[in-house]
Amino acid sequence: MTDPSTEPARVPDAVRLDLYSTMVLARTYELAIQREYHADKGPGFDIGKGLVPGEMHLAAGQEPVAAGVCAHLMVDDAVTATHRPHHFAIAHGVDLNRMTAEIFGRETGLGRGRGGHMHLFDPSTHFSCSGIIAEGYPPALGQAYAFKTRGTGNVAVAVTGEGAANQGAFHESLNLAALWKLPVLFVVEDNAWGISVPRSASTAVSSNAVRAAAYGIPGVRVEDNDVDAVYAAAGEAIARARAGQGPTLLEVATLRMLGHFEGDAQGYRPELAEVASHDPIPAYARRLQDAGILDEDAIARIATSAAARVEAAITFAKESPLPDPADVLKYAFAEEA
Amino acid sequence: MTTAPSTPVRRLNTSKAMAEAIAQEMRANPEVIYLGEDVGSYGGIFSSTVGLLDEFGPTRIIDTPISETAFIGLGIGAAVEGMRPIVELMFADFMGVCLDQIYNHMAKIHFESGGHVKVPMVLTTGVGGGYSDGAQHSQCLWGTFGHLPGMKVVVPSNPADAKGLMTAAIRDDGPVVYMYHKGVMGLAWMAKNQRSIGPVPEGEYLVPIGTAAVAHEGADVTVVTLGLSVHHALDVAEKLAGEGIGVEVIDLRSVVPLDRETIVASVAKTGRLVVVDEDYLSYGLSGEVIASVVEADPGLLTAAPRRLAMPDIPIPYAHVLEYAALPRPERIEALVREVLA
Ligand SMILES: Cc1ncc(C[n+]2csc(CCOP(=O)(O)OP(=O)(O)O)c2C)c(N)n1
């Protein structure tokens, strides 16, 4: 196990600006979805009500993981994300309009309104996610197997939370990928909480990166939610995978800024008051300003452009038609062309 | 048959009634423990264990890692050693990651041991949709549990039954799957349902497993159902009573054993049968109920039996689609009228 965060990562300026913009776009998106989600749940809070019904898991605070990893990906590389998928979808370039339309349950959505926010599938970017914990790991093996067999040089990135790393599918997948030297990057987002259960009460080791040793593959932990460090560590791992050297396990200590789902009062969370002060995005902006790569104007420009894209996507979603109830029985089986 | 409460009653919601039964049994028997994800300080995602951690502490109300195979299996082993674990699988939809422990171990050990080894364990799990949680978090799946032999399967629809069935489940010497529909729990954050709060006896209270309840009497048509659909069927029965139509609503309360006697007796009275099931249509509970009636006496039916169930599709996310698929009250009413026509 190595710890790349001990040495400052060298990331080109242009890349750092991209990383920052990606994080801002993802954050802007999460906050806009949060706004839309809560807009019409009342009186009180009825989870089934509103333009965006159902459970909603937002990833505010975890943007460095998605931005740092996906910066190395091509559109033909695969990502299997979790129940908290938006930041990875955005960082991997999933179409914002169609993703938003899906979250709003519209016919123009990625899944024609059938899937919803935990079940986003975009074949054009090889993106998918799963509401069942750790169950995105095994399919990533198959995508990697297809890439390897066809010799495309593509990789599959599989994401879980640290809570999910205690699931059987996680360990089975690590073993199989290691055994067959599949081009996979296993990513663990350690936000220290599995709903209300702290990592200390769920996981026997303090770092999931050490678990890689059990399967004879490299394990890397990035300690501080630092996008430059994630970028550097992911870069190395993805290069290894593309070069046919097999999988890597990358864990990032990150931050769940919001509740597990929207509506979660987080009464179980003692450090709640400090959470906002650990926000990785303003911290990164300051660092880029200190390095002279970003100024107030650029910060404002990036924010405005993110807001414009996000609001356009929400407008697209709201103006899109709802699915026709008469089509309810469709898509259970492969449709005739 | 509805069991008349013999002790003082107050009004509780279903989740509180369920937690009360657990607390009473835990006080009476130190071998009763409750484990699962977020059952401690969170109190259970569907409020199944609110307040229990405070009273019983973290050695009896136990937050587990997200490792269902391991902790359900642990429950089995503890039960084999004579403890009485209650293990929560947060959503029934997650059974796929741990089904082997459930159907090959929990449910078969007693049989395989020729009756020598008992597995006095309760597996609790949340079921049901109607709030756009999508295809992986909205299923009922009681037909699946019911199909696999060796476990009793109960589905309370109201607070008193939730308490009585939980008490019976904990005391049962074999595995009982206790499936609570989220829509009947009386949760503050779900659509408010008037029937999710009701009278609950204060002291010890048991509902024997395997007895259906006649939730509403009527002479014209029998509606057999369970879970949240009982609430819908009762709404329809009350509405049609105003038109002089007698709808008898049978709340199964128990999928295994299935109270065929009560079903058959009702159909013998009404001659007409509608089965309402929020689980998938094919190869499931609705077919089983109809087969039971026809096997008992095909002459009982004066009209073809009908069923309303989740069509054989994964549960859609978009509200308009989900509601087009679920057995909603309007569709129950329409089918009842059709059978009577
Ligand atoms: C197999 C399975 N078990 C339980 C759940 C319920 N659940 C959803 S998210 C979650 C916590 C996940 O924690 P973690 O993996 O750390 O990811 P995070 O939510 O923190 O991003 C749980 C228990 C599930 N979806 N699937």
CB distance A87 to ligand 1 below 6 Å: no
Count of Cβ atoms closer than 10 Å to residue B228 Cβ: 27
Structure confidence at residue B21 as a pLDDT band (50, 70, 90): very high
The predicted-structure confidence for A11-56, as pLDDT tens digits, reads as follows 999 999 999 999 999 999 999 999 999 999 988 999 999 999 999 9
> Can you give the pLDDT at residue A1?
46
Q: Decide: B97 in ligand 1 pocket, CB within 6 A.
A: yes
Task: Tell me how far apart the alpha carbons of residues A237 and A184 are, in angstroms, rounded to a whole number.
Answer: 9
pLDDT number for residue B6: 64
Smallest CA-to-CA distance from B105 within B78, B130, B84 is with B78
Q: What are phi and psi of A236, to 5 degrees?
A: -65, -45
Put simply, whether B330 touches A (Cβ < 8 Å) is no
Q: Which of B110, B137, B216, B231 is catalytic?
A: B137
Report helix, strand and coil shares of chain B as percent, to nearest 5. Answer: 40, 20, 40
Closest CA to A90 of A116, A115, A69, A113: A69
Q: For residue B6, what are the contacts with CB-CB under 8 A and spacing of at least 6?
A: B201
Q: Does B189 lie at the interface with A, CB-CB under 8 angstroms?
A: yes
Amino acid B1: pLDDT = 44
Look up the ipTM and state it.
Answer: 0.94
pLDDT, mean of residues B46-61:
98
pLDDT band at residue A267 using 50, 70 and 90 as cut-offs: very high
Interface test with B, best of A106, A110, A119 (most B CBs within 10 A): A119
Report residue B302 as tokens.
């004066």
Q: What is the DSSP string of A263-274?
A: T---TT-TTGGG
- In the predicted model, what is the mean pLDDT of chain A? 96
Instruction: Answer whether B111 touches A (CB < 8 Å).
Output: no
Look at residue B171 and tell me whether its pLDDT is greater than 50. yes
Q: Does B188 touch chain A (CB under 8 A)?
A: yes
- Between B66, B190, B321, which is nearest A46 by CB? B190
Q: Is the confidence at residue A336, as pLDDT, over 80?
A: no
Please, where are the H alpha helices in chain B? 14-28, 52-56, 68-80, 99, 109-112, 142-147, 159-171, 228-241, 260-270, 285-296, 319-325, 329-340
Q: Note whether A132 contacts B316, CB cutoff 8 Å.
A: no
pLDDT at B4 > cutoff 80: no
Question: What is the token pair recorded at A78?
Answer: 């695969």
Nearest to A55 among B41, B133, B320 (CB): B133
pLDDT of B187 strictly over 50 = yes
Q: Each residue of A296-333: pLDDT tens digit?
A: 999 999 999 999 999 999 999 999 999 999 999 999 99
pLDDT mean over B279-302: 98
Q: What is the pLDDT of residues A52-95, one digit of tens each?
A: 999 999 999 999 999 999 999 999 999 999 999 999 999 999 99
Residue nearest to atom 11 of ligand 1 (CA): A194
Cβ-Cβ contacts under 8 Å between A and B: the total is: 142
Q: Which residue of B has its CA nearest to A115?
A: B317
Q: How far is the CA of A160 from the centre of ligand 1 (A)?
A: 9
Confidence of residue A160 (pLDDT cuts 50, 70, 90): very high
Q: Residue A8: which pLDDT band, with cuts at 50, 70 and 90?
A: low
Residues A109/B317, Cβ–Cβ less than 8 Å? no
Q: Distance, in angstroms, between A19 CA and closest chain B CA?
A: 32
Going by pLDDT thresholds of 50, 70 and 90, the confidence category of residue A204 is very high
> Do A119 and B134 make contact, defined as CB atoms within 8 angstroms?
yes
In SS3 terms, chain A reads as CECHHHCCCCCCHHHHHHHHHHHHHHHHHHHHHHHHHHHCCCCCCCCCCCCCCCCCCCCCCCHHHHHHHHCCCCCCCEEEECCCCHHHHHHCCCCHHHHHHHHCCCCCCCCCCCCCCCCCCECCCCEEECCCCCCCHHHHHHHHHHHHHHCCCCCEEEEEECCHHHCHHHHHHHHHHHHCCCCEEEEEEECCEECCEEHHHCCCCCCHHHHHHHHCCCEEEECCCCHHHHHHHHHHHHHHHHCCCCCEEEEEECCCCCCCCCCCCCCCCCCHHHHHHHCHHHHHHHHHHHCCCCCHHHHHHHHHHHHHHHHHHHHHHHHCCCCCHHHCCCCCCCCCC
Residues in chain A: 337
Report, as an integer, the average pLDDT of B175-183.
98
Q: What is the mean pLDDT of residues B37-58?
A: 98
B14-28 vs B159-171: helix crossing angle, rounded to 10: 30
Q: Do A197 and B130 touch (CB under 8 A)?
A: no
Q: How confident is the model at residue A335 (pLDDT cuts 50, 70, 90)?
A: confident
Amino acid of residue A238: I
For residue B279, the surrounding DSSP H or E stretch is strand B273-280
3-state secondary structure of B263: helix
Give chain A positions within 8 Å (CB) of B126: none
Task: Note the pTM of the prediction, 2 decimals.
Answer: 0.96
Asked if B2 has any chain A CB less than 8 Å from its own CB, the reply is no
The residue whose two tokens read 């970017």 is A125
B64 CA to middle of ligand 1, Å?
Answer: 12
Q: Do A113 and B41 touch (CB under 8 A)?
A: no
Q: Is the pLDDT of residue B3 over 60?
A: no
Residues of chain B with C-beta less than 8 angstroms from the C-beta of A134: 66, 97
What is residue B9's predicted lDDT score, i.e. its pLDDT? 85
Report chain B's mean pLDDT, rounded to a whole number.
Answer: 97
- Let me know if B137 is a catalytic residue: yes
Q: Which of A118, A202, A329 sits opposite B134 (nearest CB)?
A: A118
Distance from CA of A46 to the nearest CA of B (A): 5
CA distance B145 to B123: 11
- Closest residue by Cα to atom 5, ligand 1, is A133
